[in-house]
Amino acid sequence: MRGEVLHYDEDQGFGFITGADGNRYTFAREDLRREASMARGAAIEFQPAGGRARDVFPIRAQTASPPAAATVVPSQAENAPGARQPQRFGRSAENGPATSLWSYFWQGLTENYFNFAGRARRREYWGYCLFWTIALIVIFGVGLFIDDAMGHLDELPAVTVGVCGAFVLATIPPWIGLNVRRLHDIGLTGWLFLVVFIPTIGGLIILVFALIPTQARENQWGPVPAGVRA
């Protein structure tokens, strides 16, 4: 996977990467395929492993500096007409991946559909829940409209039940993954999600977990999610 270096501490041998999938990954000196400059914004290739980047190496090697007479000021070269702008992933290399409520919902249905690794902040959790509810209401309304047009409202509204049921079933995997990552974000094991099966109080316990603030430091499941101040 391609990505960009967000930060790398040469002394500590530790840094962060923004992947092309919009997620943030940690890496250490031992994850580098070869010794190379890991300057901020450098384009790299790596192998994702949960919240960790492995086998990291720069896409293009640095070349020798041009002669002084041919030196061009970087800002002028970037702003020149027709100049190719540096590639950015997510919103930008500086700001990290998109953190809007809608982007969290869309990522949950796409790249995070079967993602049970890493962390999910409260904003991601409730953003997904918000748009999931809106989507279900819209699907329910469309189903009722179709059933009414077919004259099924006096009987079993089969279309409404079918489309709503299909939507709920299809969104079970990303919902479970989201809850597991939310537990990771507060420093707990994802297996605690199984308390949801406790009658009566299971759902309430999960709600309490969802309300707990992000653990504002790196833990065993990954770095602090993008958009959260450490």
| pLDDT tens-digit readout, 179-229 | 999 999 999 999 999 999 999 999 999 999 999 999 989 999 999 988 787
Place of tokens 């996977």: 1
- Of all residues in the chain, what percent carry a pLDDT higher than 70? 82
Q: What is the pLDDT of residue 87?
A: 43
DSSP H or E run through 82: none
Set out the domains of the chain in order of their start, with CATH numbers: 2-79 (2.40.50.140), 101-211 (no CATH)
Specify the DSSP element, H or E, that contains 16. Answer: strand 14-19
- The amino acid present at 35, given as its one-letter code, is E
Rounded to whole angstroms, how far apart are CA atoms 53 and 155? 55
Task: Please state whether 189 falls in left (phi above 0), alpha (psi between -120 and 50) or beta.
Answer: beta
Assign 190 to helix, strand or coil.
Answer: helix
Give the percent of the chain with pLDDT over 90.
Answer: 47
Q: How far apart are CA 199 and CA 100, in angstroms?
A: 34
Q: What tens digit of pLDDT does each residue of 31-87 get?
A: 787 777 778 888 888 888 777 777 887 886 444 444 444 444 444 544 455 544 444
The CA distances from residue 160 to 89, 143, 168, 170, 228, in Å, are 39, 4, 12, 15, 40
pTM for this model (two decimals): 0.58
Q: Are 174 and 181 in contact (CB under 8 A)?
A: no
